[in-house]
Structure 1
Amino acid sequence: MALAASPAWAATAADGAGPTCHAAAAQKKLAGAAKTSFLKKCEQDAQTACDARAAEKKLAGAAKTSFTQKCLRDAVGQAPQ
């Protein structure tokens, strides 16, 4: 059973076109260790996708950091309250 997010899914989330990591975990009704594992993998995949997008845009320094942080926030989302 595959509970981890695929890199392609994380790239979609990082592009803002798909659900965030937290939204996807909620949609899949994950809890406990499965949710933690899913979120960790999703966040790692989103980081990779955001870094790749920053490289495509040839960003460096503060611009790269700012872009990557916003990209990650958008991809990961917030935990439901």
Structure 2
Amino acid sequence: MKKILPLIAALSLSCSLGFVHAAEAVVKTPQQNKMTACNADAKDKKGDERKAFMKECLSAKKETQQSKMTSCNADAKAKTLKGDERKAFMKECLSAKPAA
């Protein structure tokens, strides 16, 4: 009995610490991530300039992979690329970061 009580106390403590840790590990939503990024970009702006920047930043739509594929295909076609040259162009185009 003397050995069981400390074991139960230790298990209880470790379980309660696990719940506290799980509560701290809350996952942010995409909108919260966007807000964090926009706030970081707007750190040097003040007043109306900041307000306008935040409105634009938060309402900006992220380019979808489908729209990126469409525009890269159109560019490759316009440049009349074929074979390995086209593959290299598409890889570069699809992996490029959108202009901020």
Give the TM-score band, short-chain normalised. Answer: 0.3 to 0.5
The TM-score normalised by the length of structure 1 is 0.43
The TM-score normalised by the length of structure 2 is 0.35
Looking at CA atoms only, which structure, 1 or 2, has the larger radius of gyration?
2
Q: Flag the structure with more relative contact order, 1 or 2, with Cα contacts below 8 A and sequence separation at least 6.
A: 1
